[in-house]
Chains A and B, each alone.
Chain A
């Protein structure tokens, strides 16, 4: 390992310890990278036998979610619809939870444009809004869902921009933040996926 890689790994390991500690304070959960169930990369598309939110919850709790290959949903307008929903977070939440019934599908090679769009929105417009105003101006369910999807992908990707979006949001979101969300547990699942990504990269 080069000196550069070693310095990066050391920083990620330090952050890993910090996030594990903070996750235990947020939800009294113990995260342990040694016990993470391995995920299969979606080379095609995974069928789902449950809804997206249940699958996210199960994956974050390190439970088994079946990975059976199937055909990709035929919805050519999805990306346009996603772009059109930038000012309609409820619609975006609906679009994302409908497409990613199996959340690991976000890592499929076909989803590159979607991932780029999601990380760009998080790191440009949403970040600026939070920094200039408040996180409470954003729809918490939508924000947390997108962070969860990006965090899932970060475990599969060598592209450090995705992992760093998680680093950034971990630093940005107030530690005492109580999201006004219907699915508050998405904050805990985000931390779980973040810890997994840190473990993968370090």
Chain B
């Protein structure tokens, strides 16, 4: 399977790359798109710095090999731009792994033969949108991960590959719990790709029956921190 990790930052993409490339039979690329919060040049320079420091830090030649082998691709334009879409299509990718902060348009999603997978830190269909970890804790519901194929909506993609509750009782704050859940992408993306490699993968359904959640107020964030402490 040909896999493209879509990210703004080399560091976050490389962590997933290391987990995914160990699974035999995968051809993995890192595709770095421009950040919505930085100029393209600044973003590229920051990523090259990260790449250099990743190489030096672990005496690891892999980051540089990625660059020289053409497996690290820098996009100069937004992911929906026709020039970026043409680049994605030329790579003949099967699956995208979402690690950017953007909502995709159909043209980008369609550049992957199977689609783009999202590692969502909430249980779907119940918890869509923002601050879903906080909202789950506030309402006394389980916290967990859903890996699903995204569409152009906010966590509305209907094909779900994995839904799994995660124990966060070891986390002392919401920030810690969220980081722990985000970092599990290194575990859940390879799991999802293994399921996809089956000849007939089965999908759960995200039927849109849940609610879309929004950023939480400071008042309720305080409540959630208190609930975690207890």
Enumerate chain A interface residues (CB-CB to B < 8 A).
2-4, 7-8, 11-12, 15, 116, 119-120, 123-124, 127, 159-161, 164-165, 167-168, 170-171
Alpha-carbon distance between A171 and B217 when the two chains are bound, in angstroms: 8
- Whether B223 contacts A11 by the Cβ 8 Å rule is yes
| Bound-state Cα–Cα, A7 to B219, Å | 11
Give Cα A120–Cα B128 distance, bound, in whole angstroms. Answer: 13
Inter-chain contact B211/A161, CB cutoff 8 Å:
yes
Interface string of B195-230 (1 = CB under 8 A from A): 000000000000000011111111110110011001
Chain B residues engaging chain A, CB cutoff 8 angstroms: 135, 138-140, 211-220, 222-223, 226-227, 230
A171 touches B218 (CB 8 A): yes
Q: Are A161 and B214 neighbours in the complex by a CB distance under 8 Å?
A: yes
Partner of B230, one of A3, A116, A127, A167: A3
Count of CB-CB pairs between chains A and B under 8 Å: 53
Q: Which of A2, A15, A123, A164 has the most CB of B within 10 A?
A: A164
> How far apart are the CA atoms of A168 and B140 in the complex, in Å?
21
* Inter-chain contact A120/B214, CB cutoff 8 Å: yes
Interface of A is mostly: helix
Contacts A4-B140, A160-B139: A168 and B230 contacting too (C-beta < 8 A)?
no
Q: Note all chain B residues with C-beta closer than 8 A to A11.
A: 219-220, 222-223, 226
Question: Roughly how many angstroms separate A59 CA and B184 CA in the complex, as a whole number?
Answer: 50
- Residues of A within 8 Å of B230, CB to CB, are 3, 7
Q: In the complex the two chains form, is A123's CB within 8 Å of B214's CB?
A: yes
Does B211 lie within 8 Å of A159, measured CB to CB?
yes
Q: Who on chain A is nearest to B137 by CB? A: A4
- Contact residues in A for B226 (Cβ distance below 8 Å): 7, 11
In the bound complex, do residue B215 and residue A127 qualify as a contact, i.e. CB atoms below 8 Å apart?
Answer: yes
Asked whether, in the complex, the Cβ of A167 is within 8 Å of the Cβ of B140, the reply is no
Question: Which 6 A-B pairs give the minimum distances between C-beta atoms?
Answer: A167-B217, A123-B214, A168-B217, A167-B219, A11-B223, A164-B217
Report the Cα distance A3→B215, complex, angstroms. 24
CB A186 to nearest CB in B, in angstroms, measures 21
Give complex CA distance A11, B211 in Å. Answer: 24
